[in-house]
Amino acid sequence: MRFFRIIIAVLGFLSALVAPTWVPLVCIVILSLRFRAWEGILLGVMIDLLWLPFGAPITFFPFYTVASIIIVWGLEPLRLELLR
Amino acid sequence: MNAEFSHRSLHGHPRARRRLFIATTLILVILAVDFLTHGVVRGYVRSAAASLWVFTGSARSSITGTGYFSTRRSLAAENAALRAQLSEYQDRATAYAVVSEENVALRAVLQLAEKEKGITAPIVSSFRASPYGTFLIGAGVDDVSPGALVLTLGRFVVGKVTDVSDSTSLVSAILAPDVVTDARIGTSLVAVTGRGGGNARASVPRGVSVREGDPVTAPAFGGRAIGIVGRVESDPANADQTVYIQLPINVSTLKYIYIVQ
């Protein structure tokens, strides 16, 4: 399972550089469904730091950071059900 | 046993949960530090990403250069080269038309053309990976400044430099999804809405004559061209006609761009 987690995380980080935007998002969701994936949040913040122009968060909203935090923490109950 | 199982089921392992909480806090701290230092952290992230992009590009070339995929590779390479060449010719031909039209306009108002000073820089990221319609170029703070216009070699505006770091800069694409730019098509001033990938759409009154290949210029960028009309859809039941705009060159084949200083 740890191998699976690493593979998905590496895929997510690489796809943030080269793949269409939905691929890293799918990786975050897959990681969050099975693990307490702090790397999902790291992936989200990396996408924002990489691609989002610098500016006030109201103008340049860090969508991927916020979405990854919501996904990782929001999927906690569902993940616990799956892990039961 | 039951009580312990219930506790774990409802709240998970406390240590793992605490780890996730600490990681979330740390990441928010990184964001805060980046904001307070005016984007220093993202500068490092972008430099690392640009290096990785260049490195993977050469690694890819090395792997395909071994000859294992020679037949398929050579066909694919030939196909890509021909497409790129065709795009380049279209870009140049349209650029010529744009320049001619611009010259006529300039002569008409007796103004002199302003010489553009700038530099050529490589594109060091993918066009499709950014969710915000941005891409990275290999020119840093010594070469470019925020707000500089980014052109194709055929002099079409593709974007504007928004962030500058030591060795890379972030460019926001003009035709990124949902980005609205005021533009001129023929004699009509319209709002062009980007759709990504060098494409855009605009609504023009049906009475206005618009033909495929007409240049689309933006007064905000000094009257420079941002694309050409690719297709016109007109419905007799509608007062407006939909104009599809495109860059004459495939943006994913772009390797170098020109930055106006």
List domains and CATH numbers for chain B.
Answer: 2-64 (no CATH), 118-261 (2.40.10.340)
pLDDT value of residue A18: 87
Chain position carrying tokens 């009475």: B207
Which residues in chain B touch residue A49, judged by CB atoms under 8 angstroms apart? 31, 34, 41-42, 45-46
| Alpha-carbon dihedral sign for residues B125, A25, A10, A20 | negative
CB count in 10 Å sphere of residue B183: 25
Q: Are residues B185 and B172 in contact, defined by beta-carbon separation less than 8 angstroms? A: no
pLDDT value of residue A35: 86
Encode pLDDT of B224-239 as tens digits.
999 999 999 888 888 8
Q: What are B's interface residues with A at a Cβ cutoff of 8 A? A: 9-10, 12, 16-17, 19-20, 23-24, 27, 30-31, 34-35, 38-39, 41-42, 45-46, 49, 52-53, 56, 125-126, 128-132, 134, 162-163, 170, 172
pLDDT value of residue B3: 43
Beta bridge partners of B180: B193
pTM over 0.90, yes/no? no
Which whole number is the average pLDDT over B138-163? 89
ipTM comes to: 0.85
Backbone angles phi, psi at B197, to 5 degrees: 65, 25
pLDDT value of residue B18: 85
pLDDT along chain A (84 residues), means of 10: 89 90 93 88 93 85 92 83 70
What CA–CA distance (Å, rounded) separates B247 from A9?
Answer: 35
| A38-47, B92-101, B106-115: least confidently modelled range | B106-115
Closest CA to B94 of B196, B246, B259: B246
Encode pLDDT of B11-50 as tens digits.
556 777 888 889 899 999 998 999 999 889 999 999 999 8
